[in-house]
Structure 1
Amino acid sequence: MAKQERAIRTRHSILMAAARVFEERGYQAATINEILAVAGVTKGALYFHFQSKEDLAEGVLAGQDQHLAVPSRACKVQELVDAVLLHAYRLQTDPMVRAGVRLTLDQRAQGLDRSGPFLRWRDVGIDLLERARAQGELLPHVTPAETAGVMVGSFAGIQAMSQALTDYQDLTQRVSELMCHLLPSITMPSVLTALDLTPERGEKVCNELLERQRLAETASEEQDTAQEPAALG
């Protein structure tokens, strides 16, 4: 178990190092040697987990949206808003997310399939919008696939603008404003008035998820402790 935990930690350290280098240098300019230096691991350790720079980049791309799920809400439009604002908050605070977005939008990353994050976010949007429509939350003209595509593309442009102007410092504010402009065109007025679209919403959702994770870990530890006497017996 200790060996497995070490391998998991090593893999995470390598990915975090790759994320830092990719964010600072871009895909084309980044080198394996730079990532090795930042990670502080041997070339053998790196190649045990990742076969190439492209493989590392794909790991970072996957890492940016490995936590797409947000707590389920009775209102599915609010759940969609929570997912978008949480991603904006993580862009401000999580190096893996920032590096993944940098790679996703890096048009010079030749040979790297950058479509995955766009497609995954679109699918999340379609699913939540279809459920919102089934609950009567959307205006009659809304087509979930079209709306999801517009939202993903708009977010990509907003985050690129925020990165260029303020290094993401104003991103949650800009995304909040984006939601305030887009949602009235797709959401029933009675639903719209009850939504929390504030810039602070992403941080609140992040803290909610962290608290749920902490409670789950505490419950698991307590369960393991309760089972120890039985195992010894």
Structure 2
Amino acid sequence: MVRQERALRTRRLILEAAASVFDEFGYEGATIGEVVSRAGVTRGAVYFHFASKRDLAQGVVEEQFAQDGVPERSCKLQEFVDTGMVVAHLMPRDPLLSAGARLSLGQDVFDDIGGGAIPGWIGRMEALLLAAGERGELLPHVVPADTAWLITAAWTGVQIQSQKLSGRADLELRVSGLFQHLMPSIAVPGVLGSLRMGPDRGAQVVAEVAAVRAAEEGAGGADDASGASGASGGGVGGEAPVGAQAGVGVG
């Protein structure tokens, strides 16, 4: 268990270093040596986790889908909007997302990693639209697969233009504008009026996720303390009370 946790931490450290290198130099300009230097690990550690620079780039692209981001909503179109707004909020702040975008759109790597993150985002958005359709949130003409493709393409175009013109400083504002223009064409009126699509929506959701995670970690710590107290103070035969055994945090 300890070795596995250490290996996961090392892998994450390598991916974060690789993301900063790919984001700065692009795929062709990036080197394993620079990743080794920034991660503070050995070259052997990098190759233990990733067989080549291509595998490392693929790992950076895939890691963005492994991160917590958007809570599940009863309104799937709100979850749909939240997904786009959270990425807009994090893109200038998270090298993994920024590098993923560069790797997905760069001509020097596009064919090598099969479209990068684009197919994953299309699939994620289509799944949310399918769920929204099952809940009666979509207008009758909406085809989820087509809409997911178009909105992902539009979001990508907004990101590129924002990066070129403002260094992504206005990305949240521009993505908010994109949703405010497009959602009336797919959402039924009763749902449309309830959607929160302001420029600060991504920051709000990120803060919500952080608060939930902090509460869960606090509850887990309290349960651990309770279990330790029970084990030292009163279990029969050295065993902790049943209540202490049952108290585990969600994580």
- Scaled to the shorter chain, the TM-score interval is over 0.9
Q: Is residue 218 from structure 1 mapped to residue 211 from structure 2 by the alignment?
A: no
2: distance between equivalents of 1:163 and 1:110? 19
1: distance between equivalents of 2:72 and 2:21? 35
CA RMSD across the alignment? 1.7
1:169-217 deviation per Cα after TM superposition (whole angstroms, max 9, x unaligned): 1101110010011111111122212111101000000011111111111
Letter in 1 for 2:196: D
TM-superposed deviation, 1:68: 6.3
3-state DSSP of counterpart to 1:67:
coil
**Correspondence list, 1:148-163, <5 A:** 148-163=148-163
Contact 1:105-1:114 within 8 A present in 2 as well? no
Letter in 2 for 1:204: Q
1:12-65 deviation per Cα after TM superposition (whole angstroms, max 9, x unaligned): 221111101100110011111111122222111211221111111111001223
**Correspondence list, 1:67-106, <5 A:** 67=67, 70-106=70-106
1:61 and 1:21, CA in 2 relative to 1: closer, same or farther beyond 3 A? same
TM-superposed deviation, 1:230: 4.6
2:62 alignment counterpart:
62
TM-superposed deviation, 1:137: 1.6
Larger radius of gyration: 2
1:102 and 1:138, CA in 2 relative to 1: closer, same or farther beyond 3 A? same
Contact 1:64-1:101 within 8 A present in 2 as well? no
Q: Which range moved further: 101-110 or 164-173?
A: 101-110
Q: Runs of 5+ in structure 2 lacking a partner?
A: 233-237, 239-251
2: distance between equivalents of 1:28 and 1:155? 25
1:76-109 deviation per Cα after TM superposition (whole angstroms, max 9, x unaligned): 1111100110111110211111111111111111
Structure-2-length-normalised TM-score: 0.87
Q: Runs of 5+ in structure 1 lacking a partner?
A: none
1:68 and 1:164, CA in 2 relative to 1: closer, same or farther beyond 3 A? farther
Aligned residues: 233
1: distance between equivalents of 2:72 and 2:133? 16
2:40 alignment counterpart:
40
1:133 alignment counterpart:
133
TM-superposed deviation, 1:220: 1.7
3-state DSSP of counterpart to 1:115:
coil
